[in-house]
Amino acid sequence: MPQTRRYSVKFRYSPELLLRVVGACWRRRLSVVAVDFQIPADGQVGHLVLSVIADDVEERRLTSWLGNLIDVEEIHYLGGPAQRTGGTGGEQSLSALARRR
């Protein structure tokens, strides 16, 4: 059943990154309901929080789709909007990306 899913995405900054992330979701017909994005102060490594409506199968695929974007370094699934994400063990690290590159 579709529900809101939240992801933390760590990335190397590029001007096109936000468009790539939202575009990857749009091409796969996922509804983006929120994005918290700031250009990193150092212009190097940044972080965004993405919320999309997805079912269980799409949720597993989305981590792979986002992980294949060129500037993405790490992805953490944060769960739904009601779940606390302050390092309480609820996060699932999905980033073997750093080792892969």
pLDDT at 25: 94
Residue 35, pLDDT > 90, answer: yes
pLDDT tens-digit readout, 51-83 = 999 988 888 888 889 989 989 999 998 987 644
Q: pTM for this structure?
A: 0.73
Average pLDDT of the chain is 80
Do residues 71 and 14 lie in contact, with contact meaning Cβ atoms separated by under 8 Å? yes
Helices then strands, each counted (H, E), the chain: 3, 5
Task: Please report where in the chains the tokens 């080792």 appear, as a residue.
Answer: 99
Q: Which residue in 83, 66, 86 sits closest to 75, CA to CA?
A: 66
pLDDT at 4: 94
Residue 95, token pair as written in the block: 């980033």
Query: Which residue ranges make up each domain of the chain?
Result: 3-100
Please give the CATH number for the structural domain made up of 3-100: 3.30.70.260
pLDDT at 81: 60
Instruction: Give the chain's radius of gyration (CA, Å).
Output: 13
Q: Which residue in 49, 66, 61 sits closest to 6, CA to CA?
A: 49
